Amino acid sequence: MSETPTDTPEFGFTLHTTDGVARRGTVTTAHGEIRTPAFMPVGTQATVKCMYPAQVRELGADIILGNTYHLMLRPGAERVAKLGGLHRFMNWPHPILTDSGGFQVMSLAQLRKITEKGVTFRSHIDGSKHELTPERSIEIQGLLGSNIQMQLDECVALPAPAKEMERAMELSLRWAERSRSAFFGKRGHGIFGIVQGGDDEGLRLRSAKGLVDIGFHGYALGGLAVGEPQEVMLRVIRATTPALPADKPRYLMGVGTPHDILEAVARGIDMFDCVMPTRAGRHGQVFTRHGRVNLKNARHADDPRPLDELSDCPAARDWSRAYLHHLVRTGEALGAMLLTWVNLAYYQSLMAGARAAIEAGRYTDYKAEVEEGWAKGDIEAV
C-alpha cells in the first residue's frame, strides 16, 4: 500500500527531556520513530555485516545507515529504485539514513578531483569514472528512498592547515545550499546539513550559522574522529552544539567508541553511527560492561565462562569464552556473527541506559557507573 499525506507523518523532532546538556527526544519519520540518543548500526552496502535485519531490530535499533557512494556503484541507485527502494531491497521497513558519499570519495576513490561543481573520481572497484555533485547525491539518496538524507560536503583529515579547513568549510556551505535546493521534500523524509571547519571553533561556528540560515531538518557534525585526539573532538562539540537549534536533532558522524558516545551525549548530541562495533566483532574484539575484551588472547582458550553472564544478549551469555576464542582463531564465520551480535547489543544497551538516565535526571551518575565498570576491567583469567 502506497503512503499518502493522510497516513504518513511529517518529519520532525520532539525534545522530551534534558539533563544538563544531555537530551532525550524522538525523531519522527515516514518509516517510524527514532528514540534519541540513538546509535545507528552501519549497513554500508545495504546490510549490517554478519547480522540478520530482524536481529538488528530486536537489539533495539530504530534506524540504520546506508552509504551513497557504495550503493551508487553497486548495485546502482536506479536499480534499487526499480526494486522498490532500499527499505524493501534489504527487508528493513524502519528508518534509514544515507550519508552523502563524500567521505568515501575522499578516502576510497582513485584519481579524485574536487571542483566547485562537485567531485569526479574513479571507482575503487573497477576504475570506472563517475561524477558526484550535490544535486546528484541528493538524487541518488532520493532513489534509494532513505528517510534522512545528508548534504554533500568535503571532509579534510586532521590536522590540516587553517586555510585548507576554511576552504573546505566554505565549499561545503555552498554545496549545502545546493543540496537543500535539490531535496524534493517528500513527506516524512528530511535532510541534514553538515557542520565542517576542522578543529577551528571559529570556522565551526561560521559553518553552523550558515547552515541554520539555509534551514535543515537536522544538523550533523562532520570531519571529526578523523585523526584528532578525543579531547579536540570534545572541545569542538562543546563549542558547536550551542549554535545549533534546540528543536532539531544533532548527529555526530562516524563516532565512535562507547566512551566517545557517552561524552558526546553529555555535550548535547542525539545521534551516532560507527563501523566500530561490527568491524571489531569481525576481528575478535568485543565491548562489554567490563570494557573491551580481545577474544584472540590465549587466556580465553580454556575458559568455560561466558563473556557476561548478566547480559541480555544470548551471544554474550550462552557461549563460553573458550568456544568464542576457538571460532576467532579458526576464522569461522560464526565467530564474526556472534561477536558482532555482542557488540551491537552492548551499544544499544548503552543507548537505552542513557535515555533512561536522562529521563530520570541522573545521566552524570549513569556515565560514572558505566565508566567505573570499564575501569575495573575484565574478570580474572581462570
Residues designated as active site: 99, 273
Pairing of strands 291-294, 285-288: antiparallel
Coil vs helix vs strand at 162: helix
Rounded distance between C-alpha atoms, residue 312 and residue 332, angstroms: 24
**70: Cβ contacts below 8 Å, ≥ 6 apart:** 44, 45, 104
From the list 166, 95, 106, 180, the residue with the least C-alpha distance to 137 is 180
The neighbour count for residue 215, using CB atoms within 10 Å, is: 11
Query: How many distinct helices (H) and strands (E) make up the chain?
Result: 15, 16
> What are the φ/ψ torsions at residue 234 (nearest 5 degrees)?
-65, -35
Distance, CA of 333 to CA of 230 (rounded, Å): 33
Extract the C-alpha cell encoding 222. Answer: 562532520
How many C-beta neighbours within 10 Å does residue 162 have?
12
SS3 41: strand
Distance (Å) of CA 272 to CA 22, 39, 92, 148: 14, 5, 19, 13
Tell me the residue type at 26. Answer: T
Reduced to 3 states (helix: H, G, I; strand: E, B; else coil), residue 379 is: coil
Task: Give CA separation, 161 vs 5, 93, 197, 199, 225, in Å.
Answer: 48, 43, 11, 10, 17
The C-alpha angle with vertex 181 and arms to 179 and 186, in degrees rounded to 5, equals: 95
- Measure the N-to-C terminal CA separation of the chain; round to a whole number of Å: 57
